[in-house]
Amino acid sequence: LPAVPLPSDPLAALRQARRDPDLVLIEGFHALKHALRFGAEILRAAITDPEEVRKLAEALAPDIVERLPAGTPVVSPERMQAAGLKAPITGVLAVAHRPAMDVHAALADPRPAPVVLLERPRGLGNIGWCVRTAAAADIAGLLTTGIHDPWCPTAVRIGVGLQFALPVARVANAGSSVLPHGLLDCDRPLVAVDTRGETVHPRELPPRAILAFGTERHGLSEELLARAHASVSLPMRPGVSSLNLATSVAALLYAWRLAGGAGGEGGR
């Protein structure tokens, strides 16, 4: 249960969810759709136009129509705004429990699927896009280091609620190391994804790798590069410095998947 009791007033509860690490603020229909599909427990919700949301669900996601929170209070966009909340275009906001995350269990996942590590990502948009791709590619988890919480409202909105679909967590550094707890002693090979690495051959990626991506401006830390078992790059035309972080995650995960990773399409 949240450390601070959740107010019964939905707008107060939604405001609390923005800051409470035990809660997740879900903004918009598409994020709510994924949250419901992947088992989120919705605690409070507010909606600007229930008929519109039902129509959207019937058209785009009939599987969740019966799971939409019943008796959700109808609140005008103006009241939401007055309460310091911005109504999304689809007019639905919700609060869910933040699922407990067992990083060791995610790292121990025996499937031949990688874990993505984002080292100190700066952009919440990038984090959200990476979560969306990681969920679609069906990898074992996505971990971040640094100041940003991958479950913050912006990352959840941009990740369209797919944080609920796989283990996603921010992990603390191990002592003076820039690497997180758990990664130093786990049995997964660490692969640096770096512009200076060897051109990647997706079929040759080790099956349960930790694929580490660097921060937007400076790339991977020297410590991570030194500890990595291999360093791979995505080929680029001469003159281009790098791909965007989320683009490189998408390109590599889909190269892996299409090459047959996790029994993906290319392996069939």
Ligand X SMILES: C[S@@+](CC[C@H](N)C(=O)[O-])C[C@H]1O[C@@H](n2cnc3c(N)ncnc32)[C@H](O)[C@@H]1O
Q: Return residues touching ligand X (CB under 6 A).
A: 193-195, 213-214, 216, 219-220, 233-234, 236, 242-245, 248
Q: Which is nearer to ligand X, 185 or 222 (CB)?
A: 222
Tokens of 105: 């269990």
In the bound complex, which residue of the shown chain has the CB atom lying closest to ligand X? 219
- Give residues with Cβ within 8 angstroms of 224, minimum separation 6: 119, 178, 179, 190, 192, 212, 214
Q: Which is nearer to ligand X, 56 or 193 (CB)?
A: 193
Distance CA 89, CA 81 (A): 13
Q: Which is nearer to ligand X, 129 or 164 (CB)?
A: 129
> Is the separation of the CB atoms in 216 and 126 below 8 Å?
yes
> Is the separation of the CB atoms in 137 and 258 below 8 Å?
no
- 42, 44, 49, 52: CA torsion to nearest 10: 0
Q: Which is nearer to ligand X, 243 or 258 (CB)?
A: 243
Q: Which is nearer to ligand X, 1 or 226 (CB)?
A: 226
Q: 115-118 and 92-97: which strand pairing?
A: unpaired
